[in-house]
Structure 1
C-alpha cells in the first residue's frame, strides 16, 4: 500500500457512515430525477447547463452513487476521482439552489402546487 493510498483512506474514513451514504444516494436520485422530469425548467433553475455545470453535475451524481453504494475502487487514482469530498458539496449546491429557485417560482405563481410550471406558461411573470 502506497503513501497516497493510505492518505486517501485516512481522509475517506470519517465519511464511511451509513447516514452520509444514504444522503448521497438521495441527493443523486433527486438531481437525476429533476433532470429527467423537467430538464428545461431545471436548467433554468440552476443557471443553465453550461460546459462547466453539466459535466460537474453528471460527475457528482455518478460519484455520489459510487460512494453511496459503498463501492471502493481498487486503484488510488479512481478513489480520488470518485471522492465524495468534492462530489457531495456540488450536489448540495445544485440541490439546494434548485429547490430555492423552485420555491420562489411557487410564490410567484401560487396556482402551481408542485413548483413546476406547465410548459405553456412563461418562466417569469410581470
Structure 2
C-alpha cells in the first residue's frame, strides 16, 4: 500500500500539476467566499460532509500547490493531491454549472 501511495504522489509531483492544484484551490476558496450560501448545508443541496471535503481539498491543494513535499506515505496518503484535485474540480464544476 505504501508503494502505491508513493507512486501516485510521485506522478503528481510535477510543476504544471502543482500550479493547477494551487489555482484550483484558490479559485474554489474564492468561490466559497464569494457565494457561501451555495455551499451551505441549509441553503443548498450539499450536505455537511461535502463542506468538509471541500475544506480538506482546498487545504491539500494549497499544500501541494505551494511545493511542500510530504516525506512519509502516511501524510502523502492523507493529503493526496490526486484525490484533492478531483474534489476541487467537482467543486468548481458545481459552482459554475
TM range (shorter): 0.7 to 0.9
1:43 matched residue in structure 2: 39
What is the count of residue pairs matched by the alignment? 95
- Normalised by the size of structure 1, how large is the TM-score? 0.66
Higher relative contact order (CA 8 A, sep 6+): 2
Contact kept, 8 Å, 1:46 with 1:97, in 2: the verdict is no
* Structure 2 runs not aligned, ≥5 long: none
Structure 1: 4+ residue segments shifted above 4 A: none
**Shift in CA distance, 43/11, structure 1 to aligned 2, threshold 3 Å:** closer
Q: CA deviation at 1:46?
A: 6.5
* Structure 1 runs not aligned, ≥5 long: 101-126
> Which has a greater percent of helix?
2
Structure having the higher Rg:
1
- Normalised by the size of structure 2, how large is the TM-score? 0.83
Q: CA RMSD in A?
A: 2.1
